[in-house]
Structure 1
Amino acid sequence: MQISELMSADVCVIAPDDTLGRAAGVMAKHDIGSLPVGDNDRLVGFITDRDIVTRAVANGRGADMLVRDVMSTDVKYCFEDEDVEQVAANMAELQMRRLPVVNRDKRLVGIVSLANFAHGGDAYASQELLRGVAMPH
């Protein structure tokens, strides 16, 4: 099975020039803890609620700070045509609970998370991923 059959295609994206306040608002509205950062249909970063807290709020910065100043730019991703078990193994090795999914032109097409694997029907991939993300750092 390809990851495109498992991923969530309805993905909220934030721009690098948006504020942390807007990013936090989108996260709250959709009950999510992370957002891909896109610029002209290209994946340029990733921001989590933890990034906002540890890189901005903990340093006395406010909601008007730009996403680009807090986001991670070393974004790990997978391709939509990759095998589910291969992606699960990669996510486990990286200890990542979610991963952006791009097409071969590196355009964002979805996101895959631990929950997708749990409900996806591939027990081996789910178990492997869970073991990887549950490992102590």
Structure 2
Amino acid sequence: MQTIQDVMTRDVQSITPQETVQRAAQLMDELNVGAIPVLDGQKLVGMITDRDITVRSTAAGQAPGETRVGDVMSTDVRTCSPHQTVDEVLGQMGDVQIRRLPVVDQQSHEVIGIVSLGDMATKHSAGIDRALEEVSFPAEPDRSTIGAETRH
């Protein structure tokens, strides 16, 4: 049975909460990725995604060179262990509709990798169809915030 350590990407780049959103976007472009773990020292404190930048920063009219990663990052970060099975993690990803997870060492609590649906699709095909279907299932829009700024 394959484990996450067999399919994860190692040598993950990270960013600090104090860096700018512009730097996060530049790093994503350089690395050709859509998410970067946010570390305070060695501690995982969040993830910043291209969607966080677009929805939480750009759509709100924030200046990318002035807005801090810590202001727009996702803080409720799910993680996995390198020793978990690929099937178990695929199930977790499908359940919560996420496409990538930081891999955290259980003893040191340090980020040692990241695993994405793409990693699993190329290195472990069993179960990927079901997980991809669950992750890609359309969510309902949050209608409570749509047009809120135009209602007075």
TM range (shorter): over 0.9
In structure 1, the partner of 2:112 is: 109
Structure 1 Cα separation of the partners of residues 128 and 104 of structure 2: 21
Offset of 1:36 from its aligned partner?
0.7
Shift in Å at residue 86 of structure 1?
0.4
Aligned to 1:27: 28
State the one-letter code of the partner of 2:91: A
**Counterpart residue number, 2:10:** 9
Cα displacement string for residues 1-25 of structure 1 (whole angstroms, at most 9, x for unaligned residues): 2101110002110101111111111
Q: 1:125 Cα shift?
A: 2.7
Aligned length: 136
* Structure number, greater radius of gyration: 2
Aligned to 1:93, what secondary structure does the other structure show? helix
| Amino acid paired to 1:109 | I
Q: Within 5 Å, give how 1:79-98 maps onto structure 2.
A: 79-98=81-100
Name the structure 1 match of 2:42. 41
Runs of 5+ in structure 2 lacking a partner?
140-152
C-alpha RMSD over aligned residues: 1.1
Q: Do the aligned residues in 2 keep the contact of 1:117 with 1:125 (CA within 8 Å)?
A: no
C-alpha deviations, 1:23-70, integer Å up to 9, x for none? 111011111111110111111100111111111111111121110001
- Look up the equivalent residue of 1:32 and give its one-letter code: V
- Could you give the per-residue CA deviations for residues 57-94 of structure 1, whole angstroms, max 9, x where no partner exists? 11111121110001111101111111111001111111
